[in-house]
Amino acid sequence: MANEISLPLYLRTARKNTIQRAFDATLLFLLVSLLVYRLLFLKNHGFVWLLAFLCESWFTFTWSLIVSTKWNPAEIQTYPENLERRWFAELPAVDMFVTTADPGREPPIMTVNTVLSLLAVDYPADKLACYVSDDGCSALTFHSLVEALRFAKLWVPFCKKYNVQVRAPFRYLLADPMSTSSANSEFKQDWKKIKADYEQLCLKIKEAGRESAPCDLTGEFGVFANIETGNHPSIIKIIGEHKHETEGDEEVPHLVYISREKRPKYPHHFKAGAMNVLSRVSGLMTNAPFILNVDCDMFVNDPQVVRRTMCQLLGRENETDVAFVQYPQCFYNGLKDDPYGNQMIVLIEYLGHGLAGLQGPSYFGTGCFHRRKVIYGVWPDHANDPARNHTLTKVMIILT
């Protein structure tokens, strides 16, 4: 036991905020005094004071809610380096979902970068599968993913060999590491090669986008011939299958393309509908106990993210304690000093840490790991009861 405590998977520590609390308590006292003053002299001033009183009461109420949310802020620290020493069983599998809807507004090269950043995370490749849902039913998106997988076979080993931090190539390749003294000649050579290969990939996708069809719509691509975006049957294609042919860092996870059935008379429910199909299809193919969803305009900026999540999900005594782990969104290329509040500092830094001290954040949409069980509509107490939970029966399908 002593060993386990000295090797934590995660720690939740309270943040000190005595000064902030004193400040908030003073403000609350002043606000309540103002309301009492308004009430006492209401009859001398009439309607305007009543209006002011109502507005200030509403302000005090919402302000109190916010203050109480951030009253007990906490930090969560994870220790992925302890994972193997604390979790003796095999690491669990994770199905990673990417949703895209329109190759015009969401250029395929962006989706490709999201997918590459996911395929390259530091986690056993045979435990990962990436499913891309394409609501645009676009041959170009499919073609780009086929090309992306070819590049992934170089990109994933490169990232793991050099412990690359940001594994979306368009961000990583922006910096020129040649000038740093630590770069040795082997790295320089590999870096030049990977940059050239990535430029080649971009070029291929760009040229394919210029044509009315990215390639001959025959063979694998035949299903896209004469297809109508909002009126077509389901298309499911296994782009890449992890077959244990390579070893360790050379391995690339499964990559599956899905364009769900759409009919004009039936509402498709946008991302929610796509997520529904993704969970059903992945449930039949790999049925990982954990799922991650990422929008196609996001990428993973920490290769340890799956291991960090496992620290929080596996490190609990009871699995019903945590249903999901939600990561905040950050944005690159923001304006200096963030004049429009795009980085959502208040939401993430103040309210987010406050919520971490309570029960944890709410579900934001993208960047969230769920236990598969929790989205199947089963009460936590019944999740492991096979009699009540036939949906969780394991289905094994051999990928062909």
Ligand X SMILES: O=c1ccn([C@@H]2O[C@H](COP(=O)(O)OP(=O)(O)O[C@H]3O[C@H](CO)[C@@H](O)[C@H](O)[C@H]3O)[C@@H](O)[C@H]2O)c(=O)[nH]1
Among 271, 301, 356, 383, binds ligand X (CB under 6 A): 271
AA letter at 65 = L
Per-residue interface string for the shown chain with Mn ion, residues 262-301, x marking contact by CB under 5 A: -----------------------------------x----
Q: Is 174 helix (H, G, I), strand (E, B) or coil?
A: coil
Residue 295 interacts with ligand X (CB under 6 A): yes or no = yes
Q: Does 278 contact ligand X by CB under 6 A? A: no
Q: Does 277 bind ligand X (CB under 6 A)?
A: no
- In one letter, which amino acid is 103? P
Distance CA 345, CA 78 (A): 22
Q: Residues for the chain: how many in total?
A: 400
Whole-number minimum distance, CB 279 to ligand X, in Å? 13
Number of residues that bind ligand X (CB under 6 A): 13
CB of 93 to ligand X, least distance (A): 23
- What minimum distance in Å lies between the beta carbon of 297 and Mn ion? 5
Q: Does 380 bind ligand X (CB under 6 A)?
A: no
262 scored as a contact of ligand X (CB under 6 A): no
Residues 112-141 that bind ligand X (CB under 6 A): 133, 135
Which residue, 146, 144, 142, 149, is CA-closest to 207?
Answer: 144
- What is the token pair recorded at 53? 């009183």
Please, which residues have CB within 8 angstroms of residue 20's CB and are 6 or more apart in sequence?
Answer: 70
Phi, psi of 180 (to 5 degrees): -70, 140
The single residue listed with the structure tokens 């070029």 is: 203
If contact means CB under 5 to 8 A according to the sort of partner, which of Mn ion, ligand X, none does residue 190 touch? none
DSSP letters along 225-288, please? TT-BTTBB--EEEEEE---S-S-GGG---EEEEEE--B-TTS---HHHHHHHHHHHHHHHHT--
* Count of residues that interact with Mn ion, criterion CB under 5 A: 1
Stretch that binds ligand X, among 22-30, 37-45, 95-103, 194-202 (CB under 6 A): 95-103
Applying CB under 6 A, which of residues 78, 82, 99, 259 lies at the interface with ligand X? 99
The contacts of residue 258 (CB under 8 Å, 6+ apart) are 131, 132, 133, 134, 234, 235, 236, 277, 278, 281
Q: Which residue is nearest to ligand X (CB)?
A: 365
The site partner of 147 among ligand X, Mn ion, none (C-beta below 5 to 8 Å per kind) is none
Q: Which residues contribute to the site for ligand X (CB under 6 A)? A: 99-101, 106, 133, 135, 270-271, 274, 295-296, 365-366
Residues that bind Mn ion (CB under 5 A): 297
